[in-house]
A and B are shown apart, each in its own frame.
Chain A
Amino acid sequence: MNEEKNENINDKDIQVVLGTLLRAGVIISMSIVLIGGVIFLIHNKGVITDYKVFKPELSKFSSIGEIFKGLSSFHGDAIVQFGILMLIFTPIARIIFAIFSFLIEKDYLYVLIGFIILAIITISLNGGLAH
């Protein structure tokens, strides 16, 4: 969307960009999950799993900060979590894109609706809700 910006961008163009954005988000994030998964398996393949009881205190990467910290030390499971994080942000990026496209269309009601959804999601980003 460059020089077309001031022209009348119709719904069809928006839909094509939106579709591409979603697909790219899924492909990229799932590739990261796959790479992280392979590294994780190489290092942990013989470890015995135990998921019988939910132990939240054992989870190492349960916030964005922890995931990035683990990423810098190249942990397989941190890379998987990073891919999942990107996957979670794919539909959120879609909302942000939709807000822009409604702004260009001058449909301010839907710009507002987009912001309301973002606000709701931001509330969930507040880790306090989880405890």
Chain B
Amino acid sequence: MSVLLFTIIVLLGAFLAGLLGSLTGLGGGVIIIPLLTLALGVDIHYAIGASIVSVIATSSGSAAAYVKEGITNIRIGMFLEIATTIGAISGAVVAVYLNANYIAIIFGCILIFSAIMTLKKKIDHTTLDKTDKWAKFFKLNSSYPDKGVDHAYAVKNVPAGFAMMLFAGTLSGLLGIGSGALKVIAMDNIMRLPFKVSTTTSNFMMGVTAAASAIVYLHRGQIDPGIAMPVCIGVLTGASIGSKVLLRTNTDKLKIVFAVVVTFLALQMIYKGISGL
């Protein structure tokens, strides 16, 4: 395949990945990696390097808007970034020693898990119980504005949330994805944050987390300009349009269709990984 044709195909694929990723909340990375590896036969190491770059672009782009609105809890974000960056670097380093087939299998499993998470009904776990001493020490309790009203919230189970973030960061570094699904579990279910705060804060953290592992990938030669260029431009464009459409569409049906497609892709990656062992 010529460079021009390859660039055009990847650009279109990445655009769709970014668009669907932002509409369903799954993120562009988890879609572009199967696309590159299964459809175009790209080695998963290159696919991961390109994907991590697109994660930085989309998360920084959307974090910009949320941060301005004052919903993002910058203290929680920075506190948990200690965990996610340590995890991200460890994950990226471990990835060298892992056979591409194992990475594909782990990737497939996380993909299925993320697809299920987007379908699950969210339960509000928010609390006003400000007794957690870690939350008090790190000044994590706060409030967020919604339609002109300030909503206060308290943070619970800080050490458990921190541990979960370490795991989320490791997977992010290992697989080149934002691992938003895991971050949201840590913040919604464990630390009891309101949805708006957890999704925007998770987005805010993704940029730094991805940057930490991207540097390791860059040094290892996994970020190839020929793939990374169409991937990050495509995903970012798709995600920006997706976030504008998102405000006026009901995405419930799309999420179900998409979860099925993603599960199918994931099974194929797992199958390919196992048969290559």
Mark contacts of A8-26 with chain B using CB atoms, 8 A cut-off: 1 yes-contact digit, 0 otherwise: 0001101110111011011
Q: Which of B50-83 contact A (CB under 8 A)?
A: 53, 56-57, 60-61, 63-65, 67-68, 70, 72, 74-75, 78-79, 81-82
Most B CB within 10 A of own CB, among A26, A48, A55, A127: A26
| Interchain CB contact under 8 A, B82 and A46 | no
Contacts of A62 in B (CB 8 A): 218-221, 223
CA distance A120 to B65 in the complex (A): 27
Kindly provide the distance from the CB of B65 to the nearest chain A CB, expressed in whole angstroms: 7
User: Would you call B74 and A113 a contact (CB within 8 A)?
Assistant: no
Q: Does A104 contact B (CB under 8 A)?
A: no
- Chain B residue numbers with a CB within 8 Å of A23 are 60-61, 64
Alpha-carbon gap, A107 to B46, bound state (A): 41
Whether A36 contacts B229 in the complex (CB less than 8 A), given A57-B221, A91-B208, comes out as: yes
- Are the CB atoms of B208 and A19 closer together than 8 Å? no
Asked whether A120 lies within 8 Å of B82 as measured between CB atoms, the reply is: yes
Q: Mark A57-101, 1 if CB is under 8 A from B, else 0.
A: 111011100000000000011101100110111111011001000
Decide if B223 touches A81 in the complex (CB within 8 Å).
yes
Residue of B nearest to A123 (CB): B89
The stretch of B2-10, B16-24, B181-189 in contact with A is B2-10
B93 to chain A: which residues have CB within 8 Å?
129-130
Contact at B228–A46, with CB atoms within 8 Å?
A: no
CB atoms of B215 and A34 under 8 A apart: no
Whether B53 lies near A87 (C-beta < 8 A) is: yes
A11–B1 Cα distance when bound, in Å, is: 52
Which secondary structure dominates chain B's binding surface? helix
The number of residues on chain A lying at the interface, defined by a beta carbon within 8 Å of a beta carbon of chain B, is 70
Residues of A within 8 A of B227 (CB): 51
- Count residues of B near A (Cβ-Cβ below 8 Å): 66
Q: Which of B172-218 contact A (CB under 8 A)?
A: 207-208, 210-218
Q: Counting CB contacts under 8 A, is B225 at the interface?
A: yes
Q: Are B225 and A61 in contact (CB under 8 A)?
A: yes
A54-B46 contact in complex given A80-B225, A129-B219, C-beta closer than 8 Å: yes
The answer to whether A129 touches B207, judged by C-beta atoms less than 8 angstroms apart, is no
Is the C-beta of A103 less than 8 angstroms from some C-beta in chain B? Answer: no
B100 interfacial contact with A, CB 8 Å:
yes
Q: Mark the stretch among B110-118, B126-134, B230-238, B243-251 that contacts chain A.
A: B230-238
Q: Scoring A residues 38 to 58 as 1 if CB is less than 8 Å from chain B, else 0, what string do you get?
A: 001100111111011111111
Question: In the assembly, what is the distance between CA of A107 and CA of B2, in Å?
Answer: 55
Interface of A, helix, strand, loop or mixed by DSSP: helix
CA distance A116 to B86 in the complex (A): 10
The verdict on A30 contacting B236 (CB below 8 Å), with A15-B70, A54-B43 known, is yes
Q: Is B152 an interface residue (CB 8 A)?
A: no
Q: Are A56 and B215 interface neighbours, CB within 8 A?
A: no
Question: Is B96 engaged at the interface, CB distance under 8 Å to the other chain?
Answer: yes
Q: Are A131 and B2 in contact (CB under 8 A)?
A: no
> Given that A85-B218, A91-B208 are known contacts, is A30 also in contact with B233, CB under 8 Å in the complex?
yes
Q: Per-residue CB proximity of B115-149 to A under 8 Å, as 1/0?
A: 00000000000000000000000110000000000
Query: A52-B41, A94-B207 known; A88 and B225 CB under 8 Å?
Result: no
What 7 A-B pairs have minimum CB-CB distances, sorted nearest first? A59-B221, A91-B207, A56-B221, A130-B219, A80-B225, A19-B68, A130-B220
Contact sample, A vs B, 15 pairs, CB 8 Å cutoff = A15-B74, A23-B60, A44-B3, A54-B46, A62-B218, A77-B225, A78-B225, A80-B225, A81-B225, A94-B208, A117-B208, A120-B85, A120-B89, A127-B219, A130-B217
